[in-house]
Structure 1
Amino acid sequence: MDILLSTSVWDPKAWVEGLSQSELVGKIYVWPTEEDLSNVQALFVWKPLAEGVIEKLPNLKWISSLGAGVDHLMTDPQIPRNIPITRIVDPNLTTDMTNYVMMSVIMHQRNFRLLQQNQQKSHWERITYNKLRVGVMGLGELGGHLAKQLYAAGFEVSGYSRTQKQIEGVKCYDENQLDTFLSELDVLVNLLPITPKTVGILNYELLSKTPKGCYLINVARGNHLVDNDLIKLLDENHLSGAILDVFHQEPLPNDHPFWAHKKITVTPHVASVTSPESALKLLKENIDRLVNETPLLHQVDLNRGY
């Protein structure tokens, strides 16, 4: 099977070397290329996919995102609707995301920002802290694992998803109970998939339904958040702060107000980063499945968008 790799973000070397070890893989091309791609059956891509790639692949049978996110494929008009799309589901990605959010929750709980300020002033102050109520929006692979680990760490945890879920120790709400879910939080974590229904969901109206002093953690996608609405709620002291790892435009422009806002912590999309070593195991398994005409693992539901 011939494969085309298309990623302008990552060095393709590790991916090419790993895929070459499979006996089922023939030639591996890296975009951009002027070579004949008519025999390519699989496209592995991380955003953005360059214009004109798909039309050079007349025998394409499968597209895989090289990360957990697939929104860059769902919203790309050049992606055919009749070709299966898969995403990376990797235990390392899940663990990394959970660790990042746990770190963020605990740093907020223990008031690390104030502790750092006190250190700069050589000021000794033992700051007390309270048990927090943490709500996770999105209870899929990443959110479900996070909710379980937060509960195990002693937090009071609730979760929101489109359909009702059951997770031990976690109070779960469905799409008809969103207001109730929001009303009982000290920290709101967004791990929703990005779909037409969830674009801009973190807006003034929704975030205003959280209790005064709630803290926001957005690690899903930048276009879930209405930036100006967040700033307004922070300046009005309704929200106490936010840690943001994803943005509408990445890298975040130098003049964006998030950089200088005293209540916002910015990290450069590092909460969970795909590792070729672990992701290649799944890609090779799906290569075997495609060759043997068995169902691909972690295929995206095109109607739901994730």
Structure 2
Amino acid sequence: MTLLFKVDDARGCAWKSLFEKHAPDIEVRFWPDIGDPSQVRYFAAWQPPRQLHERFPNLEVIFATSAGVDQFDLGELPEHIQVVRMLDPGIVQGIVEYACFAVLSLHRQIPLYLQQQQAGRWQDHLLTPAAQRRVGVMGLGNLGIAVLQNLRTFNFQLHGWARSQKRIDGVQCHAGNDQLEPFLNQCDILICLLPLTDDTRGLLNARTLAALPTGASLINLGRGGHLQEDDLLEALACGQLSHAILDVLNEEPPSPDHRFWQHPQIWLTPHVGAMTAPQSAFPGLLENLRRHQAGEPMQGLIKRDHGY
């Protein structure tokens, strides 16, 4: 069987070495050196080219090299082609690290102290105990659950929201549209880890941001499409929000004149919350290839009606 990757050269070298050492029976090719397209049964990429099924008539599975698949046009793919998201423990670890860094920075008012440093002002501020700080996570999949479990270490009041009801130790869980506003009302720091679907696109908007406590902060680790950027700017300008930490944007990279670049209340990072590492992702990918070979269900297989 043949697996075709569309990745950068550095990752390509790592993937090639891993397959040569641990699965030499699997032929691995790298875009654009596709060879005979009729031999390609598996394709792995962050963002595959259009009409992939027409280029590769025997394609059976597309592996996303990411935890999300919103960058794929699922509507153009025939039903017989399965789409599988990456289950890389390195992605989970990266998101946990970023979320903890962001929450603790906001909790300890680091943005304010950095502004004071730049202004040459030495002034302390009262510290809110962690037990009095309410942190909420939107999206209770494996990433959201891992973030909440790690935040328990700091004794925050933890809340979670998802489309369907969940139970997580130490977390007050909310579910569905009816419980969205009550959830938001209790989030001093809100983290978005939702998948991007038709239902969640633009969910961080004027209405939902207004439901947060005055002076709350936002961390977006989901997708740029979750956030209505103009609504965020208005919420920051009027004091409804005090700060935002954004790792994702609608346009990546943003234009040089984008208003987020120099905004004093926004920290911006270039979609680095987590990145797939071949070394940590390889075991899960190989297991799924073996499962497919054996006719067994693969892990991380997306439900097309859900979009994740």
Unmatched segments (≥5 aa) in structure 1: none
> Deviations along 1:128-158, whole A, 9 cap, x unmatched?
2213100100010000111122122211000
Number of matched residues?
A: 304
**Residue 268 (structure 2) aligns with:** 266
Tell me, which stretches of 5 or more residues in structure 2 are unaligned? Answer: none
**In the aligned structure 2, how far is the partner of 1:21 from the partner of 1:287?**
16
Q: Equivalent residue for 2:141?
A: 140
Structure 1 range deviating more: 18-27 or 108-117: 18-27
Instruction: Name 2:218's counterpart in structure 1.
Output: 216
- What is the rounded CA distance, in whole Å, between the counterparts of 1:87 and 1:168 in structure 2? 26
Distance (whole Å) between structure 1 residues aligned to residue 201 and residue 23 of structure 2: 42
The partner residue of 2:230 within 207, 220, 228 is: 228
When structure 1 is superposed on structure 2, of 112-121 and 206-215 the one drifting more is 112-121
Deviation at 1:290, TM superposition (A): 1.4
Partner of 1:100: 98
| Counterpart for residue 239 of structure 2 | 237
**1:2·1:25 contact (CA, 8 Å) conserved in 2?**
no
Amino acid in structure 2 at the alignment position of 1:232: E
SS in 2 for 1:251: coil
Structure 1 counterpart SS, 2:288: helix
Tell me the CA shift for residue 199 of structure 1.
Answer: 0.6
Structure 1 CA distance for aligned equivalents of residues 275 and 69 of structure 2: 14
More displaced, 219-228 or 115-124?
115-124
Report if the CA contact (8 A) 2:83-2:302 is conserved: yes
Counterpart of 1:86, as a letter, is V
**1:110–1:128 CA contact under 8 A, matched in 2:** no
Query: Which moved further from structure 2: 150-159 or 84-93?
Result: 84-93
Deviates more, 1:293-302 or 1:132-141: 293-302
Q: Does 1:277 align with 2:290?
A: no
Moved more, 82-91 or 193-202: 82-91
Please list, as runs of the form range in 1=range in 2, the aligned pairs for 1:68-217 lying within 5 A after superposition: 68-73=67-72, 75-130=73-128, 131=130, 132-175=133-176, 176-217=178-219
| Secondary structure in structure 1 of the residue aligned to 2:272 | coil
Shift of 1:119: 3.4
Could you tell me how far apart the structure 2 residues matched to 1:79 and 1:60 are?
10
Q: Name the CA distance, whole Å, in 1 between partners of 2:224 and 2:10.
A: 20
CA distance in 2, matches of 1:83, 1:249: 29
Task: Report the AA paired with residue 32 of structure 2.
Answer: P
For residue 23 of structure 2, what is the aligned residue in structure 1? Answer: 23
Structure number with the higher helix fraction is 2
CA separation of 1:34 and 1:281: change in aligned 2, threshold 3 A: closer
Aligned amino acid, residue 140 of structure 2? L
Please, what TM-score do these two structures have when normalized by structure 1? Answer: 0.94
Correspondence 1:57 to 2:59: no
Q: C-alpha separation between the residues in 1 aligned to 2:191 and 2:159?
A: 10
Q: Which moved more, 1:49-58 or 1:105-114?
A: 49-58
- Residue deviations 1:162-201 (CA, integer Å, cap 9, x gap): 1110011100000121111011111111001111110111
C-alpha RMSD of the superposition: 1.8
Q: Which amino acid aligns with 1:104?
A: A
Q: Percent identity?
A: 36
SS of the aligned residue for 2:147 comes to helix
Contact 1:215 1:240 in 2 (8 A): yes
Q: Which amino acid is the alignment partner of residue 96 of structure 1?
A: G
Tell me which residue corresponds to 1:292: 294
Aligned mates of 2:76, 2:22 — CA distance in 1: 29
CA distance change for structure 1 residues 116 and 182 in 2, over 3 Å: closer, same or farther?
A: same
Q: Which whole-Å CA distance do the structure 2 matches of 1:30 and 1:51 have between them? A: 17
The answer as to whether partners of 2:220 and 2:245 remain within 8 angstroms in 1 is: yes
Change (3 A) 1:281 1:80: same
Q: Is this contact kept in 1: 2:196–2:226, CA < 8 A?
A: yes
| SS, match of residue 222 in structure 2 | coil
Does the CA contact (< 8 Å) of 1:158 and 1:172 recur in 2? yes
Q: Which moved more, 1:1-10 or 1:286-295?
A: 1-10
SS at match of 1:21: helix
Corresponding letter in the other structure for 2:104? I
**Paired position in structure 1 for 2:45:** 45
C-alpha distance in 2 between matches for 1:37 and 1:125? 65
- Return the alpha-carbon distance in structure 1 between the equivalents of residues 182 and 189 of structure 2: 14
Q: Name the structure 2 match of 1:14.
A: 14
Query: How many Å apart are 1:105 and its aligned residue?
Result: 0.9
